[in-house]
Amino acid sequence: MSLDYQVFDPSPCSFPRPRVPVLPRGFAPASTEDAALLRDVPSLSGQGLHFTRGRYALGEAYRRAGLDGYGALLAPAYHCVTMLDPALALGADVLLYTLDSDLAPDPVALDVLAERSAKPVKALLATHFFGFVRDFSWLKQWCYARGIVFVEDCSHTLFTERYQAKGAGWYGRFVASSPYKFLPSADGGWLYAPDAAVLASAVTQPASWLAELRGMKQCLDAARQPRVSPADITALDRQLAVLAKRTPVAGDEQRRQRPAQSSQYQLEAERRAALRSSRWLIGHSSIRAAIQRRQANYRRWLQAVTSLPNCHPLYPELPEQVVPYMFPLYIAHPMPHFYWLKQLAVPVWRWDEMAVSACPVAADYRLHLLHLPCHQSLSDDEMDWMVAAVGKVLRLPVAGALR
Ligand SMILES: Cc1ncc(COP(=O)(O)O)c(C=O)c1O
């Protein structure tokens, strides 16, 4: 099946590399306090399958759900292309269901899509976006009643063999996660099934020793990347004054049709196991530090944007059990605010390449919803710098800035 994508191509803008890593780096070893934290969490050690990324875990789940050229996947309209890629690689149809402004699935839209699908719907993917774990029991029932396999997407939740964020992994026949997004490993996707029998006979190929060495080097290089300093905060006003005088160079907005998976999904990596070093890091890093620092940094962001114009946080409350992946911030004027943040080398992610759907929220969030880092290895200076940059940029009046 070919899908239409709306794509933002940033190449004309020449954005610099982000000055702060979007994902964690370094190594904070587990301590005795971790042991206390983990006492009440079931250890799933030795269960499931390790892949290099969550997308390949999803691929295996889709395949085992029976997805092929004769079936269809229901997937969220707001998505990263790697959530759809594995289904497209299998030749399946992908039908995008509508989400509300909180990114919760719309049950009415699901009914309509399932009824109208030209091919039998074999699997449904539902995501706990940004670590905010949802009660998907109704969706589990909905799938069960229709003979559809529920694939639970825990890519944005802390979900590993050692620790599962509360509520995550409770619903899916298959549960796919991306531990490398939470802990400082070079790679790491994990596929878990509460009924281990459904993963029976699955095998992955171990990584080569050269790949292991490269992975270790990648982790060491990331840990050594220079940090921002208080002087960088002082420099922001001057940098912004220069930027605001220039006419911003817009990126290219394109509509592209793609007959199959994107280049971010490599067929030869489908059965490759995660690096041994990644599994070791994921198994020995401090979970407690990850949870505490992420929550503290999320709250810091919340506080920083409370009275900021031109934006609002997607989730203005942080429930105690949530381990946030990123801080999702809605901005009213991507041009020029997103552009300026990127020019300042602030690490901003956005899903600006997305398959086109009938969902107005997905269409809106594609350019307006920023994903800002809140991970545990951000230093105080890095948080201060990002908070200052976002504050200064979003306070700049748009019309004045474009003069
Ligand atoms: C919600 C979600 N699910 C799945 C994936 C695929 O994860 P990975 O990057 O581990 O392949 C992503 C990728 O960013 C994602 O954001």
Longest distance between any two alpha carbons in the chain, whole Å: 64
- 336 preceded by cis ω (within 30°)? yes
pLDDT value of position 201: 85
> DSSP letter at 323?
-
Do residues 163 and 287 lie in contact, with contact meaning Cβ atoms separated by under 8 Å?
A: yes
- How far does residue 177's CA lie from ligand 1's centre (Å)? 8
pLDDT value of position 402: 43
Runs of H (alpha helix) within 23-182: 32-38, 54-64, 81-89, 107-116, 137-146
Do residues 35 and 236 lie in contact, with contact meaning Cβ atoms separated by under 8 Å?
A: no
Q: Does 83 sit in the ligand 1 pocket, CB within 6 Å?
A: yes
The model's pTM is 0.97
pLDDT value of position 403: 36
- How far does residue 380's CA lie from ligand 1's centre (Å)? 27
Task: Write out the E strands in 202-271.
Answer: 252-258
Distance of CA 63 to the CA centre of its chain: 22
pLDDT value of position 195: 96
- How far does residue 176's CA lie from ligand 1's centre (Å)? 9
Q: Does 186 sit in the ligand 1 pocket, CB within 6 Å?
A: no
Output the CA torsion sign for 386, 178, 311, 133. Answer: negative
Q: What is the dihedral of CA 15, 19, 25, 28, to 10 degrees?
A: -160
Which residue(s) pair with 76 in the sheet?
97
| CA 156 to ligand 1: nearest atom | 1
CA atoms in the 13 A half-sphere facing the CB of 9: 8
Query: What are the φ and ψ backbone dihedral angles of 284, each rounded to 5 degrees?
Result: -120, 0
- How far does residue 82's CA lie from ligand 1's centre (Å)? 6
| CA 54 to ligand 1: nearest atom | 10
- How far does residue 193's CA lie from ligand 1's centre (Å)? 18
pLDDT value of position 2: 80
Token duo for residue 302: 């919340």
Q: Does 128 sit in the ligand 1 pocket, CB within 6 Å?
A: no
Alpha-carbon span 161 to 164, nearest angstrom = 8
pLDDT value of position 397: 86
Per CATH, the homologous superfamily of domain 3-11+227-256+286-402 is Aspartate Aminotransferase, domain 1 (3.90.1150.10)
Do residues 308 and 247 lie in contact, with contact meaning Cβ atoms separated by under 8 Å?
A: no
Q: What is the dihedral of CA 11, 16, 19, 24, to 10 degrees?
A: 20
In sequence order, the 6+-apart residues with CB closer than 8 A to the CB of 372 are 301, 326, 327, 328, 329, 346, 347, 348, 349, 386, 390
The best mutation among 49, 52, 82 to test binding of ligand 1, ranked by most ligand atoms within 8 Å of the C-beta, falls on: 82
The best mutation among 56, 58, 80 to test binding of ligand 1, ranked by most ligand atoms within 8 Å of the C-beta, falls on: 80
Distance of CA 235 to the CA centre of its chain: 31
- How far does residue 83's CA lie from ligand 1's centre (Å)? 6
- How far does residue 10's CA lie from ligand 1's centre (Å)? 21
Q: Does 156 sit in the ligand 1 pocket, CB within 6 Å?
A: yes
Q: What distances in angstroms separate CA 336 from CA 17, 18, 151, 330, 402, one per listed residue?
A: 18, 18, 38, 14, 8
Q: Does 189 sit in the ligand 1 pocket, CB within 6 Å?
A: yes
pLDDT value of position 184: 96
Alpha-carbon span 49 to 46, nearest angstrom = 8
State the SS3 of 326-363: EEEEEECCHHHHHHHHHHCCCCCECCCEEECCCCHHHH
pLDDT value of position 1: 75
The best mutation among 155, 272, 366 to test binding of ligand 1, ranked by most ligand atoms within 8 Å of the C-beta, falls on: 155
pLDDT value of position 340: 96
Mean pLDDT for each 10-residue chunk of the chain (403 residues)?
A: 92 95 95 92 92 98 98 98 98 98 97 96 98 98 98 98 97 98 98 95 93 96 91 96 90 91 96 97 97 98 97 98 98 96 97 98 98 97 98 87 41
Alpha-carbon span 26 to 284, nearest angstrom = 12
